[in-house]
Amino acid sequence: MASYLNSRSLLPILCVALAISMPLKIRGGEIAVYWGQGDDGSEGTLAQTCQTGKYRYVIISFLFQFGYGQPPALDLAGHCDPPSGGCAGLSNDVRACQSNGVKVLLAIGGGAGNYGLASADEAQQLADYLWNNFLGGQSTSRPLGDASLDGVDFDIEQGSGAYYAQLGQSLKNFGQPVLLSAAPQCPYPDQFLGSAIDAGVFDFVWVQFYNNPPCQYSNGDDSGLRGAWFNNWANIPTGKLFLGLPASQDAAGGGFIPPEALISQVLPAIKSSSKYGGIMLWSKKYDDVSGYSAAVIGSV
């Protein structure tokens, strides 16, 4: 009995010693990708995108028109024609994605389009529209059919940043889980989404670390990126923070990080952040050409 007690008394000491000797666990991440603007058919179907096993989040893009008294409008390039009802068949793809554990979100906004919110009433009206036409509500005119998407992505790149916090909160108030993500530019604070991000309505924030020279990777230099990540973005109120990247050199005007540099240089640095969630790629079209996600998935 005496030797048994002595052995038990040594356990805390042994556990501490093992913890000190073992390397720190590197946080694993996931990949989000935008799909829907491959107008030449190069990015495959939504179901095929999810079947690759590379992506945890697929963001359908874009609801490019809303607010200012306009009817909301969806554009999916060459995939299908929403106004004619030609995209309703995507419900089968959405369900196939979800059965594979992939979350499917709808992106509102984008780099081109005509959108904005003129009042809190318009924010509520858009929330109602999104809920009834894409999420858990009901409507006779659901553009993607009867499947319920998992959430909404705010990719706001023009107009005013007003009332997006209210929109996000309204979407959270429907009584069923709705994932919300944001895709701000890396200069901080983001001029369009800063207030909504500060309000803490987003589950994920995938920051666009491209097309912004002060905070993007350039010619082997990641100091601007790391500075923006740790000094600003790592402190925002969100569940997870993703590094948004172009999937190829042709996908953006700047900020492309070669896969080997991402693996050896950038990811080991930003993974030390407790909010690190993975990477976001623009877009499936470019990823198919470059093979970027396949090259880096083992290190994300």
What are the catalytic residues? 157
**Burial letters 3-31, b for 16+ CB under 10 A, else e:** eeeeeeeeeeeeeeeeeeeeeeeeeebbb
Sorted by sequence, the CB contacts under 8 Å of residue 19 that are 6+ apart come out as: none
Cα dihedral 236, 257, 30, 190 in deg (nearest 10): 20
> 161 to each of 55, 211, 274, how far by Cα in Å?
29, 20, 28
DSSP letters spanning 23-40: PPPPPP-EEEEEES--TT
H helices within the chain, ranges in order?
2-21, 46-51, 90-99, 120-134, 164-172, 194-198, 223-231, 259-261, 267-270, 284-290, 292-296
| Cross-strand pairs, 127 | none
Sorted by sequence, the CB contacts under 8 Å of residue 171 that are 6+ apart come out as: 127, 130, 131, 135, 152, 178, 180
Distance CA 76, CA 82 (A): 8
Q: Which two tokens stand for residue 186?
A: 């890396």
Sorted by sequence, the CB contacts under 8 Å of residue 214 that are 6+ apart come out as: 186, 187, 224, 228
